[in-house]
Amino acid sequence: MARLILFFLLLPAVLSAQVDVKDFVLNGNAVRLDDECFRLTEAVDWQGGAIWYKKPIDLNEPFYMELEVFLGCDDRGGADGIVFIFSPRARLGYSGEGMGFGGLVPSLGIELDTWLNDHLLDPEEDHVAILTNGDIRHYANANRPNALPNIEDCAYHPMEVSWDPAVQELKVYLDGVVIARATGDLTRTVFRGNSIVYWGASAATGKYNNRQEVCFRKLVLGRIPTLPALDMGLQRDLMRGQKIEIPGFQFASGTTALSTEQRALLEGIVTLLRAHPRERLKIFAFTDASGPSALNQRLSDQRAGAIADYLVQRGVARDRLIVKGFGEAYPRLVGNSDRARSQNRRVEFSLVRAVP
């Protein structure tokens, strides 16, 4: 299946919605922060908090979740982490090093672990693992843990979880990179023939602690369509250092916010930048000549910035982006006709290889 994308066309077979915090049940020390976010633990010893979504999902259908995780600010002494849990029954296992997942049968857990437990064969680094049936011992699970860069960095990290029953693959992304995957018939091998499962998130602290939070942004259920990659001709032009414009990518007059369609069109750029990590991207925005020149300059700056912000949200490093607005300077067509305004109100993209 092609790379699942952040924004989807809303087709009749797709249920796509913002996750409503009222649809979660809170347990333990979990508290609601705002309309999308929960704090599972404070930076206090011996806490445990969890949230469960009230509505189950059917593993016979694909799903996609978009969220953000915060694993605290204490790298050296922080603990223990967050587990995203799937189970036919919305209940918890034991806390502490089990993080609310330990001992829960049947279950599947996506573990973001920030503490080194030698007896569990944890890597020294922060790590991710896909665990089953409440067993937190890495040597007892087929999916070995993968080391992560420090995630106790006082920052929110974008995360995505997707399930495609057509190829029976579970994928986990963090900061735009695949960090874990599991394949196989989860309904049969994990959930004992039950395809209907609940999902939630649990975190814990012990003798060491961290503030741990999760924000749910979007849940997509049903058939998940993907958009085509960036046109091969445009990719070729970009890789040759030429400037391109993406067909259909244009801001409405006077606006700076990205539309859903624009965000979807940018996915081709995201894919290309991931495939070529040494390249940097220039984003140059221009306006037409309507309105005062100072306002036009500000509009172009904000449009280029909005594109950069979106790419950063999708995991592109900020220092790979060169962002500039040119206002009404360098018009493509002279005049104030509708055609001239449309041609001049544009965004140009080009690549430049970073100096090693």
pLDDT one-digit tens code per residue, 103-143 = 888 999 999 988 877 666 667 788 888 998 888 776 656 56
Which pLDDT value is given to residue 227? 46
**Residue 9: DSSP 8-state:** -
pLDDT score of 355: 52
Number of separate domains in the chain: 2
Q: Provide the domain limits for residue 251.
A: 232-353
76 in any annotated domain: yes
Mark whether 62 and 181 lie in a shared domain.
yes
Residue 232 has pLDDT above 80, yes or no: no
Whether residue 168 sits in one domain with residue 68: yes
Is residue 237 domain-shared with residue 159, that is, in the same domain? no
Higher-confidence residue: 276 or 186? Answer: 186
Q: Are residues 42 and 177 in the same domain?
A: yes
Measured CA angle at 172 (ends 170, 177), to 5 deg: 135
Same domain, 53 and 160: yes
Q: 170 and 291 in one domain? A: no
Instruction: Please calculate the CA angle 14-19-145 and round it to the nearest 5 degrees.
Output: 90
pLDDT tens by residue, 53-108:
988 889 998 888 888 999 999 988 888 899 999 998 877 777 766 777 888 889 99
Runs of H (alpha helix) within 213-292: 232-239, 260-265, 267-275
The whole-number pLDDT of residue 278 equals: 85
CATH number, domain of 260, equals 3.30.1330.60
- Whether 77 is covered by a domain: the verdict is yes
In this structure, of 3-12, 80-89, 162-171, the range with the lowest mean pLDDT score is 3-12
Question: Are 180 and 208 contained in the same domain?
Answer: yes
What is the percent of the chain where pLDDT is above 70?
87
Domain boundary among 157, 192, 222: 222
Q: What is the CATH number of the domain that holds 149?
A: 2.60.120.200
Residue at which a domain ends, from 161, 190, 222:
222
CB neighbour list of residue 203: distance below 8 Å, 6 or more residues apart: 40, 41, 48, 49, 50, 80, 81, 82, 83, 99, 100, 212, 214
Residue at a domain's end among 196, 222, 248? 222
pLDDT at residue 154, rounded to an integer: 93
- Cβ-count burial 218-230 (b if 16+ within 10 Å, e if not): bbbbbebeebeeb
